[in-house]
Amino acid sequence: MKFYYRPGLSWRYSDGTPDNDETLSMDPAYISVVAALAGSTIGGLTSLTASWLSHHAQFRAQQRASDLNRREELYKDFVEEASKWYADAFTHNTPEVANLVNLYALVSRMRIESSSRTVETAERVVSMIIDTYLAPNKTFRDLAEIKAMDPLREFGKACRAELRGA
């Protein structure tokens, strides 16, 4: 037998006799309300999840771009400093230790942000600059020897490989 509900009354059989065994059925209007609420909840959660994923992906992309720019700036600063002190090393025998401190500071920053290959090549550049200070001074005639020694070539390759892989 089927049950139906009449507002203000108890559950009854379709023949009108009261239901005494506590078996209940649900009004179809409630089913549609529950379905509407469930649909709204699922739709809202889907929208919230999609929005969160989109913002998360944008944030990660911005972080990567910021990290890449920061490393590019660090490498640029190192190349400028190393070039300046490498040229100075050819014409002077005694380095200004205070001037080399900035190079060491840049290498230390690279230890935090860069790959080990990039740090190693930067350390070799600094070592070559110090060795050049310890060597006899060079003249303009020694330019051919200077051209053959490009201490920043390997550093540039390491930086380019790292930045492409980022």
Instruction: Express each pLDDT in 18-28 by its tens digit.
Output: 555 555 566 77
Phi, psi of 12 (to 5 degrees): -140, 155
Separation between Cα atoms, residue 119 and residue 125, nearest integer Å: 10
Residue 17 has pLDDT above 80, yes or no: no
- Is residue 131 within 8 A of residue 95, CB to CB? The reply is no
Domains of the chain, by residue range, sit at 65-165
Q: Would the pTM of this model clear 0.95, i.e. be above it?
A: no
- The conformation of residue 15, written as its DSSP 8-state character, comes to T
For residue 92 the two structure tokens come to 């002077």
Per the CB < 8 A criterion, the answer to whether 131 and 98 are in contact is no
Tokens at residue 27, please? Answer: 């009004």
pLDDT, tens digit, 9 for 90 and up, residues 45-99? 999 998 999 998 999 989 988 899 999 999 999 999 998 888 888 788 777 788 7
Query: Residue 125: pLDDT above 90?
Result: yes
| DSSP classification of residue 18 | B
- Name which residue leads in pLDDT, 118 or 18: 118
